[in-house]
């Protein structure tokens, strides 16, 4: 191989390398971060807290307030509204504290026997 061929080969290699590098710059893709959106609905929490505040103050909760709670997205999925209503009332109404204590004792005894 003579000098002319070596230089020609080196020039071709360099030319190919430069073309590749310049093309590579143009082909670079832009990395786009995914945009994640969350759709949280806390209206059920607001309704729940309003009801439990009333119960803790020993104030009767209106049917409209219960209906508003069960119309929220989270509570709408539940099937037995009367049962949930009775459990919430049992837990948060101070007048029902004796009954709640009795049920918890019975539950504790039952769990110990299992």
Q: What does the CA dihedral 90, 91, 93, 98 come to, rounded to 10 degrees?
A: 70
> What CA–CA distance (Å, rounded) separates 5 from 7?
5
Confidence (pTM): 0.58
Under-70 pLDDT residues of the chain: 1-29, 114
pLDDT tens digit sequence for 27-36: 556 777 778 8
Residue 70 makes CB contacts below 8 A (sequence gap 6+) with: 76, 78, 81, 84
* pLDDT value, residue 35: 80
Residue 4 has a pLDDT of: 45
pLDDT at 7: 41
Task: Give pLDDT, residue 86.
Answer: 92
Task: For residue 50, give its domain range.
Answer: 43-113
**In the prediction, which pLDDT does 8 show?**
47
In a domain, 35, yes or no: no
pLDDT at 13: 59
Q: Are residues 17 and 57 in the same domain?
A: no
- Residue owning tokens 């070596």: 6
61 shares a domain with 23: no
Q: What is the pLDDT of residue 38?
A: 78
Shared domain for 23 and 48, answered yes or no, is no
């Amino acid at each position: 191989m003579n000098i002319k061929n070596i230089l020609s080969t080196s020039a071709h290699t360099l030319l190919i390398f430069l073309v590749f590098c310049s093309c590579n710059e143009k082909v670079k893709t832009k990395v786009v971060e995914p945009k994640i959106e969350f759709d949280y609905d806390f209206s059920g929490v607001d309704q729940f807290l309003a009801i439990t505040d009333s119960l803790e103050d020993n104030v009767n909760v209106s049917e409209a307030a219960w209906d508003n709670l069960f119309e929220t997205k989270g509570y709408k999925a539940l099937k037995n509204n009367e049962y949930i209503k009775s459990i919430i009332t049992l837990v948060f109404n101070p007048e029902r504290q004796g009954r709640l204590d009795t049920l918890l004792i019975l539950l504790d005894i039952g769990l110990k026997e299992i």
